[in-house]
Structure 1
Amino acid sequence: MSRVPLIAVVDDDHAIREALDDLIRSLGYRSALFCSAEAFLADADRDAVGCMVVDVQMPGLSGLELQAQLNREGGKPPMIFMSSYFDETTRSKALKAGAHCFLSKPVDDEILISEMHAALSASTGSL
């Protein structure tokens, strides 16, 4: 029996974390919620994460700084970035550093669902 994929949500906005938790669970996946990049980095089980949904602008480490840290460590899961503050420079940096995609908030649920499926498929080879 295959293991249910785990999607990490890293966002400082409690309401967004809860909404994404509901969406992820409705799709049959497991979710792990983190209020900061630092909380994610401190998690002992982060190797189990199949993909991540990450806010760009957060107090402390930003989403891009989290991405850079994970890139230095190697073996990071696909990252789906979301941002309320879209700018092409930030988007370009995230994608060049290996982000799966970069979405503007508010994110269309159908687009996010499609990107999560694609990211999980990329990390596991198939669903």
Structure 2
Amino acid sequence: MSRNRLIAVVDDDPGMCDAIGEMVEALDFDSARFLSAEGFLAEAQVRDFDCLVTDIRMPGTDGFELARRVAQIAPALPVILISSIDDEMTRRKVGRVGGTAFLRKPCDAETFLTCVTNAMDRG
């Protein structure tokens, strides 16, 4: 019996973290939710995940730095960065830090599913 794919969700806003986690689960994946990059790095076995979805703007370690660290720990893990800010500078930086994809908040379930599935299929 195969397990569902496990997606880590990191967002400092508890409501947004829960909303994304619930969307992940509604799309038939399993989720683990973290309210900070530090919490994710301290509590999680990074290699156990099939994908990481992280907010960019967070206090302490932001999503860009988290993507850099994850690339060192688990280079094959797809990292999707999300933000309500969508500009060219942000999109370029996503690629520079090793992000697999960028999504603008809020995003609909169909766009999210396509992005996550494509990211995991590349890995």
2:12 partner letter: D
Query: Percent of counterpart pairs with the same letter?
Result: 40
Aligned-pair Cα RMSD in Å: 1.5
CA offsets 1:38-63 (integer angstroms, 9 cap, x no match): 01110243221100111000010000
Deviation at 1:19, TM superposition (A): 1.1
1:102 partner letter: F
Helix, strand or coil: the match of 2:67? helix
Deviation at 1:89, TM superposition (A): 1.4
State yes or no: 1:122 paired with 2:84: no
| Distance in structure 2 (CA, Å) of the matches to 1:95 and 1:108 | 22
Q: Cα distance 1:87–1:101, how it changes in 2: closer, same or farther (>3 A)?
A: same
CA offsets 1:82-110 (integer angstroms, 9 cap, x no match): 11122311220111332111111122221
| Distance in structure 1 (CA, Å) of the matches to 2:80 and 2:42 | 20
Q: Which residue of 2 aligns with 1:21?
A: 21
1:112 partner letter: F
Helix, strand or coil: the match of 1:28? coil
State yes or no: 1:34 paired with 2:34: yes
Q: Normalised by the size of structure 2, how large is the TM-score?
A: 0.90
User: 1:1-127 counterparts in 2 under 5 A?
Assistant: 1-123=1-123
2:78 partner letter: P
Structure 2 gap segments, 5+ residues each: none
| Distance in structure 1 (CA, Å) of the matches to 2:55 and 2:85 | 10
| Distance in structure 1 (CA, Å) of the matches to 2:95 and 2:103 | 11
